[in-house]
Structure 1
Amino acid sequence: MYRDIAAKLINGIQDGQFEIKLPTEAQLMEMYHASRNTIRKAIDLVYQQGLLRRVQGSGYFITSIQLQHKTVVNLSARGLFSDNMHPRQLVSKVLTFDTIKSDYDLSKQMGVPQDSELYRVIRLRYWHEQLYCLEKAYYLKSVVPYLSTEAVNTSIWDFLNEAYGLGVANSDDYLSLTNLSEEDASLMQLGHGDTYLALDSCNYYKNNGLLDFSHTVFVYPDLALYFHTTNLANN
């Protein structure tokens, strides 16, 4: 339950519902009909994403990075809340949605046997009517036996959570600069060989089972990257 509340708090921060600070623990307990312990665990998860700063005796304030930058990719939000690393209200244009068997290269990237059955989703994503990214994602059918067209057009992660109770427990992420292949350039109507930021991710659910692999190329102008770290020795 606390993970659901944490996701709602993150959405509230991103949507401007909480602009300066979070409500008090007592107010959040009333809002979400939850115990103090549940609320505290939810707040801790949001804090780990770098969206809050703790002020002794005053509560939790929204971090300035969240307020000042509207084109932030919050890499700290990888894992527990995969959708929350992107800006809210992205619009998807699905280019490919089918089932394939993994070839040698894809099997190696995912660490799965060759010819594993996968859902393949290739989509362009737009923010404020401008191209935000190209996303190629591959979901193991052994873990996700059914993926709906509606989910692919809206939020795959919401569907996985509601249909299968699947969430991302942790992820391996690799950031790099990539030169657009001829295929990717054609899909985005950009220049072949142009350089953009790419994120390759393997997402894992509980017990470290692989859920999916994705390759995302970000092309939105003035995009900022944010990553929050916590010094555990000082906690």
Structure 2
Amino acid sequence: MYRDIATKLVNAIQDGEFEVKLPTEAQLMTRYHASRNTIRKAIDLVYQQGLLRRVQGSGYFIANIQLRHKTVVNLSARTMPSSALHPRNLVSKVVTFDTIHTDAALAKQMQIDEGIELYRVIRLRYWHEKLYCLEKAYYLKSVVPYLSPEAVNHSIWDFLNEAYGIGIANSDDYLSLTNLTEEEASLMQLDHGATYMALDSCNYYKNNSLLDFSHTVFVYPELALYFHTTNLANN
């Protein structure tokens, strides 16, 4: 339950509902009909994403990480039940939605055997009518037996959380500069060989079991990448 409340708090922050600070714990307990312990765990999860500043005796203030950039990819937000990685209300254009079996190259990337059945989703995603990214994602059918077309067109992570109770427990993320392949350039109508930022992610759910692998190429203007680091020794 606390993860669901954390997601609602993130959404409220992104929507500007909480502009300066969070309501008190008592107010949040009333708002979400939850215990103090649940609220504290939800707040702590949001704090771990770098969206809050803790001020002793004054509560939690909103950390505005988007003051200098139009779009910030929050790479600290990798354990939320629904994806807090991207801006809200992205519009998706599905290029490919099918099932495949891993070949040698994909099996190596995912560190699984060849011939494993996967859902493959390739999407162009838009933010404020501008191309935001190209996303190629592969979900293990042994974990996700059914993936709905509606979810593919909107939020896959919301669907996985609601249908299967699956969220990201941890992830391995690799940032790199990539040169667009001919296929990628054609899909995004950009120059073949042009250099952009790419994120390769392997996401794991409970017991460190692999859920999916994704390759995302970001092309949105004025994009910024954000990391939040907490020094646990000083907490």
Q: TM-score range by the shorter chain?
A: over 0.9
In structure 1, what is the equivalent of residue 28 of structure 2? 28
Alignment correspondent of 1:178:
178
By how many angstroms is 1:70 displaced? 3.5
C-alpha contact (below 8 Å) 2:73/2:87 kept by paired residues? yes
CA distance in 2, matches of 1:234, 1:41: 19
Counterpart position of 2:54: 54
Report the equivalent of 1:144. Answer: 144
Match of 2:190 in 1: 190
Q: Is the 8 A contact 1:134 1:216 kept in 2?
A: yes
1:155 is matched with: 155
1:120-131 → structure 2 map (5 Å cutoff): 120-131=120-131
Q: Which moved more, 1:4-13 or 1:64-73?
A: 64-73
Residue 64 of structure 1 and its aligned partner are, at CA, apart by 2.7
- Give the match's secondary structure for 1:13: helix
Runs of 4+ residues deviating >6 angstroms: none
Cα deviation for residue 57 of structure 1 reads: 1.1
Count of matched residue positions in the alignment of Structure 1 and Structure 2 = 235
Q: Secondary structure at the match of 1:185?
A: helix
Equivalents in 1 of 2:230, 2:113: separation in Å?
A: 36
Change in CA separation of 1:176 and 1:82 when aligned onto 2, cut-off 3 Å: farther
Name 1:221's counterpart in structure 2: 221
Structure 1 equivalent of residue 100 of structure 2? 100
SS at match of 2:229: coil
Match of 2:231 in 1: 231
Which residue matches 1:87?
87
One-letter code aligned to 1:222? E
Conserved 8 A contact 1:82-1:157: yes
Q: How does 1:106-125 map to 2 (within 5 A)?
A: 106-125=106-125
Letter aligned with residue 219 of structure 1: V
Calculate the TM-score normalised by the size of structure 1.
0.98
Q: Which amino acid aligns with 1:51?
A: L
Identity of aligned residues (%): 83
Q: What is the distance in 2 between the residues matched to 1:14 and 1:62? A: 10
Match of 1:8 in 2: 8
Matching residue's letter, 2:176: S
Secondary structure of residue in 1 paired with 2:197:
strand
Q: How far did 1:102 drift?
A: 0.4
Conservation of the 8 A alpha-carbon contact between 1:51 and 1:66: no
Larger helix fraction of residues: 1
Report deviation, 1:130. 0.4
Task: Please say which of residues 73-82 and 56-65 is displaced more in the overlay.
Answer: 73-82
Residues of 2 paired with 1:176 and 1:14: CA distance?
27
Q: Quick one: structure 1 residues 68 and 52, their matched pair in 2 at CA, closer, same or farther if it must change by over 3 Å?
A: farther
CA contact (8 A) 2:81 2:161 kept: no
Q: Distance in 2 between matches of 1:126 and 1:176?
A: 21
Q: For residue 206 of structure 1, what is the aligned residue in structure 2?
A: 206
Q: Is the 8 A contact 2:82 2:158 kept in 1?
A: no
Contact 2:7 2:82 in 1 (8 A): no
Give matches, 1:58-69, under 5 Å.
58-69=58-69
Structure 1, residues 156-192: CA drift from partner, whole Å, max 9, x if none? 0011011111111000000000000000000000000
> Structure 1 residue 67: deviation in Å?
5.0
Distance in 1, Cα, partners of 2:46 & 2:15: 15
Shift of 1:83: 1.3
Alpha-carbon distance between aligned partners in 1 of 2:192 and 2:97, rounded to the nearest angstrom? 24
Deviation at 1:85, TM superposition (A): 1.0
Where 1:83 maps in the other structure, the secondary structure is coil
Note the alpha carbon deviations across 1:117-163, whole angstroms, 9 max, x for none.
Answer: 00000000000000000000000000000000000001000110111
Superposition deviation, residue 82 in structure 1: 5.3
> Given that residues 79 and 203 in structure 1 are in contact (C-alpha distance below 8 angstroms), is that contact kept between their aligned partners in structure 2?
no
Q: CA 1:210–1:177 in 2, change beyond 3 Å: closer, same or farther? A: same
Q: What SS is found at the alignment partner of 1:85?
A: coil
- Identify unmatched segments of 5+ residues in structure 2: none
